[in-house]
């Protein structure tokens, strides 16, 4: 008896180890993704994902268990299982079959309804600190960030102070694209001739990966950027450093930047031509030709 118990305990331990290994394998890529949020928007979006998963598991798990139980009970070697070849309808079963999916859809619909209003991208983040304004232009294949309040610009790098909301105004200088910082949340589409808005906030210092979430041609794989959340003093120092040297981003410089290029290193400009973002968004500056077919 003791050896049998020890054998069962060993089997259970082995199963636990396998389950833990599989779980870690699936979660290995989530360290810097949507399941590890570092801001209020990302945290709220993770809550929606977890709640939606729990609601769906409420029907998926019982269905899997019922399938296994039915297969075991109605096996050929079970004489106690009743077989009714002429049976074809049960009101109780119909009630269960239809009511559970309807309830799941109602719960998911309510969750999405509430979440979509709470996470409206045009809604500002409640904070005592005044938001920083950043204008974003998607190009082939890079991201241009304009700081109108600080009169500087950068490409493929975004520096923000920790704990301060950032209000983004976004457009595209080429084809349709999608702006996404997974750990901060708020994936949003950008399109030439259209302006969208988004508010994000980083609660902890760190370096966060930003990306294009929509395929846009040959350079798509390298169309990423770095968002650095730093203390206010470091942010002020970065602004001062950008003002200290380098060229200005005027219309000719923007047209040169808008040409197709891949894996562009982070760059800053010490000044911005007034009204540049509005000229791009209102198509006063012709959009780039977009990816070419080969």
**What pLDDT is attached to residue 17?**
52
Give CA–CA dist 291/215, Å, rounded.
Answer: 10
**What pLDDT is attached to residue 272?**
94
| Predicted structure pTM score | 0.78
Give CA–CA dist 225/165, Å, rounded.
Answer: 19
Contacts of 28 (CB under 8 A, 6+ apart): none
Give how far Cα 204 sits from Cα of 127, 208, 235, Å: 15, 10, 14
**What pLDDT is attached to residue 85?**
77
Strand order in the sheet with 185-190: 157-161, 224-230, 206-212, 177-181, 185-190
**What pLDDT is attached to residue 12?**
46
**What pLDDT is attached to residue 9?**
57
Residues with pLDDT less than 50, the chain: 1-8, 12, 14-15, 18-29, 293-294
**What pLDDT is attached to residue 10?**
53
**What pLDDT is attached to residue 81?**
86
Nearest to 40 by CA among 184, 232, 207: 184
pLDDT of 212-268, one tens digit each? 988 888 888 889 999 999 999 999 999 999 999 878 999 999 999 999 888 889 999
**What pLDDT is attached to residue 64?**
93
Give CA–CA dist 173/290, Å, rounded.
Answer: 9
Contacts of 46 (CB under 8 A, 6+ apart): 34, 35, 37
Q: Is 211 within 8 Å of 224 (Cβ atoms)? A: yes
Rg from Cα positions in the chain:
27
């Amino acid at each position: 008896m003791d050896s049998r118990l020890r054998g069962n305990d060993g089997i259970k331990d082995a199963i636990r180890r396998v389950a833990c290994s599989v779980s870690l394998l699936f979660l290995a890529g989530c360290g810097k993704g949507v399941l590890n949020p570092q801001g209020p928007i990302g945290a709220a979006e993770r809550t929606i994902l977890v709640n939606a998963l729990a609601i769906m598991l409420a029907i998926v798990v019982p269905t899997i268990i019922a399938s296994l139980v039915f297969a075991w009970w109605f096996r050929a070697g079970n004489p106690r299982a009743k077989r009714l070849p002429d049976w074809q309808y049960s009101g109780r079963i119909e009630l269960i079959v239809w009511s559970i999916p309807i309830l799941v859809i109602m719960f998911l619909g309510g969750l999405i309804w509430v979440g979509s209003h709470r996470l409206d991208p045009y809604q500002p983040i409640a904070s005592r600190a005044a938001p920083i304004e950043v204008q974003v232009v998607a190009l082939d294949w890079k991201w241009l960030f304009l700081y109108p309040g600080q009169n500087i610009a950068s490409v493929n790098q975004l520096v923000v102070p920790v704990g301060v909301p950032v209000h983004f105004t976004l457009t595209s200088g080429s084809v349709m694209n999608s702006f996404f910082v997974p750990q901060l949340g708020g994936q949003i589409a950008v399109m030439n001739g259209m302006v969208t808005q988004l508010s994000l906030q980083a609660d902890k210092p760190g370096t966060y990966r930003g990306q294009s979430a929509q395929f846009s041609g040959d350079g798509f794989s390298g169309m990423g950027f770095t968002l650095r959340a730093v203390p206010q003093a470091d942010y002020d120092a970065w602004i001062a450093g950008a003002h200290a040297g380098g060229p200005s981003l005027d219309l000719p410089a923007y047209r040169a930047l808008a040409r197709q290029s891949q894996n562009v290193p982070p760059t800053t400009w010490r000044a911005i031509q007034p009204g540049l973002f509005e000229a791009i968004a209102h198509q006063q500056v012709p959009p780039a030709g977009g990816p070419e077919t080969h």
